[in-house]
Structure 1
């Protein structure tokens, strides 16, 4: 993906994120059904996702 495509995808996710909505960040309104499903799964298991992300980060050499 290009940098602008990544930014657009993140903006789509922002439109689905309750924390961004509370802050008044609307994001883009073109989130796909898959984006919505991914966000639901993430919100239902934030602790597990964070744990996996931290484990993956430790595998990256400095």
Structure 2
């Protein structure tokens, strides 16, 4: 991992977590789906994207 880009990578992960939560909330409010995957929004999606962006 590039130590000089650590802030950029973590900021990217933070914004992806927020974006996933917002899109999940919008989909739930519009009754496109009736479930909310909070652990997926805040853990799996950002971490998988962070792993992709590291390499």
* TM-score after normalising by structure 1: 0.30
Q: Which has the higher helix share?
A: 2
* TM-score after normalising by structure 2: 0.33
